[in-house]
Structure 1
Amino acid sequence: MLSMLEYIKTILQKVSFDKNLFDKELAKAIKMLIPKEVKQLKRWCYVQFGKMYRAVLNRRFARVRFT
């Protein structure tokens, strides 16, 4: 069975063709995950999509507060 984090990674890869859809799904993902998973997602996103969607990633992850 897939973890929520792995499921979200799959979704983000599938919607990565559309910037607005990617942005929307990333926002939902950040709300669903616990802080430790958000950190992992952030690292993964910058590796996978950093060139394509750096502005989206910067905006979404800038709002996240890791405690």
Structure 2
Amino acid sequence: MLEYVKLILSKVSFDKTLFERELIKSLKTLKKDELIQLKQWCNEKFTDIHLLIVNRVFQPLDLANENYLIN
């Protein structure tokens, strides 16, 4: 599932609104370890264009905590 999310995010990266929407959707479908990998991948791949979106979407998550919550 993680690879599919990466594919989708890459395809919609031209549009900030679509990118954010798809990134938020991915939070509901991925497991914690996949979310950690996704955050790292987003930071590596989209730092130049979507850094604020990535930070805003992942900020409420405490991925270091076992009992993380998604609002």
Q: TM-score, normalised by structure 2?
A: 0.86
Match in the other structure for 1:17: 14
Alignment correspondent of 1:51: 48
Structure 1 spans left out of the alignment, 5+ residues: none
Deviations 1:27-65 (A, max 9, x none): 000111010000000000000001111110110010112
Could you tell me which runs of 5 or more consecutive residues in structure 2 were left unpaired when the two chains were aligned.
67-71
> What does residue 69 of structure 2 align with?
none
Counterpart residue number, 1:39: 36
Runs of 4+ with deviation above 6 angstroms? none
Kindly report the root-mean-square deviation, in angstroms, between the aligned alpha carbons of the 2 structures: 0.7
Give the % identical residues.
47
For 1:14, what is the secondary structure of its paired residue?
helix
